């Protein structure tokens, strides 16, 4: 079974600074997808960024980028120029490339942004 | 941006009662899901639904749970006889493609007393 580990229960960052959230996963599959979801206090899950494992290029969405290290099974999220609205729970998630469409989530990292 | 709508936002019920959680997915989406999040724990997959049938379900989704898409717009999760441990936030989600962007609703907080 696949597992997703987020080793940082809480992180904080100064406004306008950069922060990196860690995620590792365990899988025997070669084809899969990785995601970062944001859950603000409203509790709605919002997709931040998506990475296909077969793509070597790291995904980027505006201020959000990932460092995908397939051999190390690592998928970290970098938030640049942090804003107050970035404060939320961040969940790393995994989806198999075939045979299943379910997301397996990590336990999450609570990010605080300090003004 | 289109939204997935869930009702009610909060539901309180007595143990043993039946509850129905309702969701309106985004209109052109084809894949539908239910996830749940027990307070302080990770989000867990319950079930996926495609082409009017369950395509995948987790061990959590036992005989007490059922899903239905009764009218082509609503997507419901029914729990026949609620237990205390069913207390959680239940999220509905939909997607046009199964490995694409998954849109989540704001959730229904279910409290079983």
Res. B88: pLDDT tops 90: yes
Phi-psi region of A73 (alpha: psi -120 to 50; beta: other; left: phi over 0): left
Show Cβ contacts of residue B43 under 8 Å, excluding neighbours closer than 6 positions. A45, A91, A93, A103, A105, B35, B36, B37, B91
If pLDDT is split at 50, 70 and 90, which confidence band does A97 have?
A: confident
Model pLDDT, residue B98? 83
Polymer length in residues for chain B: 113
Closest CA to A93 of B105, B89, B88, B43: B43
Distance CA A11, CA B71 (A): 44
| Pair of tokens at residue B35 | 């996830």
**A33 has a chain B CB within 8 A of its CB:** yes
Pairing of strands A109-114, A10-14: parallel
Q: Do B101 and A35 touch, CB atoms closer than 8 A?
A: no
Of the candidates A50, A102, A104, the beta carbon closest to that of B48 is on A102
Instruction: Tell me B84's DSSP state.
Output: G
Q: DSSP assignment of chain B, as one string?
A: ----EEE-SEEEE-TT--EEEEEE--TT--EEEEEEE-TTS-EEEEEEEETTEEEEE-TT--TTEEEE--SSS-EEEEESS--GGG-EEEEEEEESSTTSPPEE---EEEEE-
Q: CA distances (Å), A63 to each of A16, A81, B29, in order?
A: 11, 7, 28
pLDDT of residue A3: 92
CA distance B62 to A98: 24
In chain B, whose CA is at the least distance from the CA of A39? B106
Q: Does B104 sit within 8 Å of A45, measured CB to CB? A: yes
On whether any CB of chain B is under 8 Å from the CB of A106, the answer is: yes
Residues of B in contact with A46 (CB under 8 A): 104
Interchain pair A44, B107: CB under 8 A: yes
Binding-site residues on chain B for chain A (CB distance < 8 A): 31, 33, 35, 41-45, 48, 55-56, 58, 89, 91, 93, 98-107
Say what the pLDDT of residue B71 is.
85
Q: Which residue in A101, A104, A107, A108 has the most chain B C-beta atoms within 10 A of its own C-beta, making it the best mutation to test that interface?
A: A101
When mean pLDDT is compared across A6-10, A13-17, A54-58, the lowest value belongs to A54-58
Is pLDDT of A93 > 90?
yes
The pLDDT of residue A26 is 95
B-chain residues near A105 (CB < 8 A): 42-44
pLDDT at A100: 84
Whether A1 shows a pLDDT value over 80: the answer reads: no
pLDDT tens digits along A53-82: 999 899 999 999 999 999 999 999 999 999
């Amino acid at each position: 079974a696949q597992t997703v580990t987020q080793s940082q229960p809480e992180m904080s960052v100064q406004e306008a600074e950069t922060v990196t959230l860690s995620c590792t996963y365990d899988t025997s599959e070669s084809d899969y997808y990785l995601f970062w979801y944001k859950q603000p206090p409203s509790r709605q899950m919002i997709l931040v960024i998506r990475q296909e494992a077969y793509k070597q290029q790291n995904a980027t969405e505006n201020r959000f980028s990932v460092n995908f290290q397939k051999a190390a099974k690592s998928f970290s999220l970098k938030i640049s120029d942090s804003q107050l609205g970035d404060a939320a729970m961040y969940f790393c998630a995994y989806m198999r490339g075939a045979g299943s469409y379910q997301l397996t989530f990590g336990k999450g990292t609570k990010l605080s942004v300090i003004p | 941006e289109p939204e997935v709508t869930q009702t009610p936002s909060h539901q309180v019920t007595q143990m043993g009662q039946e509850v129905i959680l309702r969701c309106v997915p985004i209109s052109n989406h084809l894949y539908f899901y239910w996830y749940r999040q027990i307070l302080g724990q990770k989000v867990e997959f319950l079930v996926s639904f495609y082409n009017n049938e369950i395509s995948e379900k987790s061990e959590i989704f036992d005989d007490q749970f059922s899903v239905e898409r009764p009218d082509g717009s609503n997507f419901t999760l029914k729990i026949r006889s609620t237990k205390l441990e069913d207390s959680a936030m239940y999220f509905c989600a939909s997607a046009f493609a199964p490995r694409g962007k998954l849109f989540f609703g704001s959730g229904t907080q279910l409290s079983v007393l």
